[in-house]
Copies of this chain bind each other. A is one copy, B any other.
């Protein structure tokens, strides 16, 4: 083997083809909050999480739904830049909250070849999306039910309902980490069912010790609306006074009011940074 005396010299000779290579993708679970129309004039809108899915036009998994994603161009971009490029294409927005979620790399997750996918969570305020998305469709997260370590998730857009379930199997030697095993899944492509579950769980875990939720809120909101968002994400009702104590130093009251709702109007609040 040749002896090199400097890194430059070594690199000049380096043949990058000696290692087996593979392709990577960035896949994104875009989460936002949508409102179901109120049935009663004085009731507030029911809020739910929604996620963005695209219908696959080509093989593999033709006709199934998948998360927005794209192949990494290894010469020019990072995985996060790749994700932003995809998001720009899908939503026409460039400044979306993005956070690396997990790298999925099962040997057969893509039937074409070995593809490793780094997934991201994107959180967005739905009001910012003016134009209807062309290829993608928003699915409401109707329910997330966990029983005996099996999670069943129900998604629905206007035309279609998707139900899939995943078993969370305790990892050997751990008391709190799980392998995800698909139990039932007819309509989601690749392993994106697992990405969706991982994303929903990450959001649920982080909502209580970070401020990420405000990435899904409009600039002005009532505390009732904010509380509903927490309730939807956490999957449980919260008590009003407790909730207000918790978020008190994360928001600031404005002098604006939300009126015309058939009941007592409420002050509009705004996200307030800092001050822990």
Contact = CB atoms under 8 A, between A and B. Distances in A.
Interface of A: 4, 6-7, 10-11, 14, 16, 19-24, 58-62, 71-79, 95, 97, 99-100, 102-103, 105-107, 111-114, 116, 118, 172-177, 210-212, 215, 273-274
A118 B19 CA distance: 17
A74 B114 CA distance: 6
Given A11-B111, A21-B22, A114-B75, A211 B59 contact: no
9 contacts: A10-B58, A20-B23, A20-B75, A22-B24, A79-B103, A97-B173, A116-B118, A175-B211, A176-B211
Contact of A177 (B78, B79, B99): B99
- Give this chain's copy count: 2
A119 to B, nearest CB: 10
B97 A100 contact: no
A10 B173 contact: no
A47 B102 CA distance: 33
State the 5 A-B residue pairs at the shortest beta-carbon distance, nearest first: A10-B59, A21-B21, A22-B74, A16-B113, A74-B114
Contacts of A73: 20
A119 B111 CA distance: 25
